[in-house]
Structure 1
Amino acid sequence: MFLADNETKVDLLNNEAIAKTIVELLRNRPEQPITVGVHGDWGAGKSSVLEMIEDQLDKNEETLCLKFNGWRFQGFEDAKIALIEGIVTGLVENRPALRKAGDAVKATFRRIDWLKVAKKAGGLAFTAFTGVPTPDQIETLVNGVEGLLADPGKIASVENAKAALATVTDVLKDEDTQTKNVPEEIEAFRKEFKALLKAAGVEQLVVLIDDLDRCLPDTAIETLEAVRLFVFTARTAFVVAADEAMIEYSVRKHFPDLPDTTGPQTYARNYLEKLIQVPFRIPALGDTETRIYVTLLLIGAEIGEDHASFGDLAHSASTDRRR
C-alpha cells in the first residue's frame, strides 16, 4: 500500500480549529491588510491548514482566494516577479468584471513588465561596462520585449552590448510608463492594483503561500519581499505557511553580514516578525494523535476519503481527540 504525503481538506491532525480561527480573523475586518503565519515543522500539516482555509473562503463570493507555491517557480522565474504577476493574473482570470477595465489591466501588466526589465537591466549595465555579456544574458533580459533585438547572439562586443543596453533603457523610459525609477513604479503599481481590486468587486483578496521553507534562501527572501510590497494594500491578506527555523536560516544566508542578535532576539527572527503580524504555531503530535492519524491514513487509502463511512470515522476521531 502506498500512502501519498499530500495536503488534504479532511482534518486528520486536529488542525481545523486553527484554520477556522484564521478565517474568522481574516473576515473580521476584510478591508484591513494583514499577514498571517502558519508555522510548524515539516509534516506538521501546514499545507492541509491552507487547504481548509481555502475551502472555507471559497464559500464567500466576495472573497477571492489565490494560492502560490514558490518552490515550483524556483530556478525558472524571479520569485518576486512571479508572485506579483501570479496575483494579478489570478485576479483577472477569476473576476470577469475586469474585462470592462481593459486599459487598467494593461497598465498594471505594463508596470510588471517594466519591473522585469528594470531588474535585469541593472545587471546588464554592470556587465556591459566591465566586460562582454553572454548572449544568454542579453536574451534573458530582452525576453518578452517584442522586436527589441532580432538576434541576441550577434552581440559579441562591448560596443554592441552598450547599444543593447541603450535600447533597453528606451524601453524603461517608454512614454506609456509615467515614472522612471523603481520606487515610483512600485508606488504606481500599488495604486493601480487597488483600482483593480475595486473594479473586480473583491471585498478581500487572500493569498495563500505554501512550501516557502522548501525554497532556497534567495527564493524565500524574494517571495517575502514581494509580500511586503502588498502589506499595506487595503483588502489584501497573506497567509504564509513555513517552518520558522528554515526562514530564519534563509535570512541569515541572504544577509550574511547581519549581527547575530539585537537585544533578546536574533535579527533573523525580527525580520520574520516584522512581516508576519499574527503567527499561528501548529503543535507537535502526541502519541495518541499520531496513532489516530496513521489509522485514518490507512483506512482512507483503503476505502477513499470521499467514502461516507470514512467521514463518520474522521468525525468520531476528532471528537475523541478533543475529549
Structure 2
Amino acid sequence: MILTDNETKVDLLNNEAIAATIIGLLRAKPDHPMTIGVHGDWGAGKSSVLEMIEAGFADKNDVLCLKFNGWRFQGFEDAKIALIEGIVTGLVEKRPALTKAAVAVKDVFRRIDWLKVAKRAGGLAVTAFTGIPTPEQVGAIVGSLQGLLADPGKLATKENLETTIEEVKGILKGGETKNVPEEVEAFRKAFDQLLKDAGIKQLVVLIDDLDRCLPDTAIETLEAIRLFVFTARTAFVVAADEAMIEYAVRKHFPDLPDSTGPRDYARNYLEKLIQVPFRIPALGETETRIYVTLLLAGAEIGEDNADYAKLIAVAREKLKRPWTTGGLDAVTVKTAGNHPPAKPGAFGM
C-alpha cells in the first residue's frame, strides 16, 4: 500500500480550528492588508491548513484565493517575478470581468515588465526594498547593451540582446519617469484598481512550501510579499517552518550579526513580515499513531466513504485528550464503521 504525502482538505489532525480562526481573522477586516504565518515542522499539516482555508472561502464570491508554490518555480524563474506575476495572472484568469478593464490590466503588467527586463539585462543592481530599477538605471542598460551589439560574441545570441533592448525601450516610452518610491506607489494604486474592477473585496494569497526552497528563493518570495504589505484588501497566508526560514535569512545575509539584544536577527526578519503567527504543535506518539491509522483506513476504504467520516469523528475526540488514549485500535475502527475492515488487523495501531 502506498500512502501519498499530498495535502488534503480532510482534517486528520484536528487543525480545522486553526483554519477557522484564520478565516475569521481575515474576514474581520477584509479591507486591511495582513500577513499570517502558519508554522510547524515538516509533515505537521501546514499545507492541509491552507487547503482548508481555501475551501472555507469557496462560497465567497467577493473573496479570491490564489495559491503559490515557490518550490515549483525554483530554478525556472526569478521567485520575485514569479510571485508578483502569478498573483496578477491568477487574478485576471479567475475574474473574467477584467477583460473589460484592459487599461488597468495593461498598466499593472507594464510595471511588472520592469522586473522582467532587469532580470534579463544580466545582474542589474536593483533596490532590495522593491526590486524595481529606476528609469535612470534602465536608460543606462540601453546605452550599454547597444554598445555591445558591435561585439555579439560576448553574448549568447545577438537576437536575444536586440529583444532585450526593445523591451527596455518599450518600458521607457510607456509612461512618465518616476523615482522608485513613486513607481512602487503607482504599482499599488494600479493593483488596487485591478481589485476594484474585478469586484473583489479581499484577495487571499496562500504561499506554500517556502521552507523547501533554497535560501535565495525563499528570501526573494518574502521580499515580493513586502511589495503588497501595504496594499489594501490583500492578505497573505505563509506556510513555512520557522527554523528553515531563519536559516535562509542567515545564508542570504551572512554579514548580519548573530543577534540584537535578546532577539535573533533572522527571527526578527520573519516577525517583521508576519503580523499574526500560528504554530502547529508537533505530533506526540499518540497523535502520530492516530494519524497513521487514519491514513491507512482512508487508503483502504476511500476518503469519501461514510464509515471513514465516522472514524475521523471518533479520532478527533481522541485527539482532544491524547494523554488518555493509546490511539485507534482494531475494535475502535470496527465499531466506527459497524463492520470489520477489508483486511483484518490492517489498522490495529
Query: Fold conserved (TM > 0.5)?
Result: yes
**What is the Cα deviation at residue 285 of structure 1?**
1.1
Distance 1:69 1:105 in 2: 23
- Amino-acid identity (%): 73
**What is the Cα deviation at residue 173 of structure 1?**
1.3
**What is the Cα deviation at residue 306 of structure 1?**
1.1
Relative distance call for 1:234 and 1:314 in structure 2 (3 A) is same
Q: Which amino acid aligns with 2:200?
A: V
Q: Which amino acid aligns with 2:34?
A: I
Corresponding residue for residue 322 of structure 1: 320
The answer to whether residue 149 in structure 2 is matched with residue 155 in structure 1 is no
The answer to whether residue 72 in structure 2 is matched with residue 72 in structure 1 is yes
Normalization by structure 2: what TM-score? 0.80
User: Higher RCO, 1 or 2 (CA under 8 Å, sep at least 6)?
Assistant: 1
Relative distance call for 1:124 and 1:258 in structure 2 (3 A) is closer
Say whether the 8 Å CA contact 2:117–2:168 is kept in structure 1: no
Distance 2:39 2:108 in 1: 33
Corresponding residue for residue 234 of structure 1: 232
Say whether the 8 Å CA contact 2:207–2:236 is kept in structure 1: yes
Corresponding residue for residue 25 of structure 1: 25
The answer to whether residue 96 in structure 2 is matched with residue 99 in structure 1 is no
**What is the Cα deviation at residue 311 of structure 1?**
1.2
The answer to whether residue 169 in structure 2 is matched with residue 170 in structure 1 is yes
Larger radius of gyration: 2
Distance 2:182 2:230 in 1: 16
Say whether the 8 Å CA contact 1:173–1:180 is kept in structure 2: no
Relative distance call for 1:88 and 1:124 in structure 2 (3 A) is closer
5+ residue gaps, structure 1: 126-140, 143-147
Q: Which amino acid aligns with 1:258?
A: L
Say whether the 8 Å CA contact 1:115–1:182 is kept in structure 2: no
The answer to whether residue 54 in structure 2 is matched with residue 54 in structure 1 is yes
**What is the Cα deviation at residue 11 of structure 1?**
0.6
Say whether the 8 Å CA contact 2:47–2:239 is kept in structure 1: yes
5+ residue gaps, structure 2: 126-140, 322-349
Relative distance call for 1:298 and 1:156 in structure 2 (3 A) is same
Corresponding residue for residue 301 of structure 1: 299
Q: Which amino acid aligns with 1:170?
A: K
Distance 1:119 1:10 in 2: 41
Say whether the 8 Å CA contact 1:111–1:177 is kept in structure 2: no
Corresponding residue for residue 209 of structure 2: 211
Say whether the 8 Å CA contact 2:16–2:49 is kept in structure 1: yes
Say whether the 8 Å CA contact 2:110–2:171 is kept in structure 1: no
Range moving further from structure 2, 180-189 or 233-242: 180-189
Relative distance call for 1:124 and 1:294 in structure 2 (3 A) is closer
- SS at the partner of 1:123? coil
**What is the Cα deviation at residue 167 of structure 1?**
5.3
**What is the Cα deviation at residue 100 of structure 1?**
1.2
Corresponding residue for residue 289 of structure 1: 287
Aligned CA-pair RMSD: 2.6
Corresponding residue for residue 34 of structure 1: 34
**What is the Cα deviation at residue 154 of structure 1?**
7.5
Corresponding residue for residue 193 of structure 1: 191
Say whether the 8 Å CA contact 2:13–2:319 is kept in structure 1: no
Give per-residue Cα distances to partners, 1:110-135, cap 9 Å, x unaligned.
1111221134436269xxxxxxxxxx
- SS at the partner of 1:206? strand
